Amino acid sequence: MDCLFCKIAAGTIPVTRLYETDEVLAFPDINPQAPVHTLIIPKAHYASLAHTSPTETALLGSLLGAAVEVAKQQGLVNGYRVVINTGQDGGQTVEHLHLHLLGQRHMGWPPG
């Protein structure tokens, strides 16, 4: 499948692998929007969050758990933001489910 994040998960496209389990992988965003901007993906292909089932609790939990672990690893003691852009209106540009972990700067609302 011609999917950028599947290639990254498979190691075909090299990235700094910040955190990894059998199910998930975290790596730096190539265009960071904050001093810490890490992407967390499932190794299996899901086009978006909307393509997961509510019964896939293990996978969904692993993704959030990875975000917590990476946040600790990156020293985000003042907090952080986890974002999942989903579909066209959600601003998703890469069609492989990913969480953005953003930190080390204050983030107001709405995002800018």
Side-chain half-sphere of 80: how many Cα atoms within 13 Å?
26
Helices (H), the chain: 4-10, 57-73
x-or-dash string of contact with ligand AMP, 37-76, rule CB under 6 A: --x-------------------------------------
Q: Residue 84: CB partners within 8 Å, gap ≥ 6?
A: 49, 90, 97, 98, 99, 100
Cα(6)–Cα(39) distance, integer angstroms:
13
x-or-dash string of contact with ligand AMP, 4-43, rule CB under 6 A: x----------x-------------xxx-------x----
Using rule CB under 5 A, residue 3 touches Zn ion: yes
Name the residue nearer to ligand AMP (CB basis): 32 or 77: 32
Which residues contact ligand AMP (rule: CB under 6 A)?
Answer: 4, 15, 29-31, 39, 85, 91-94
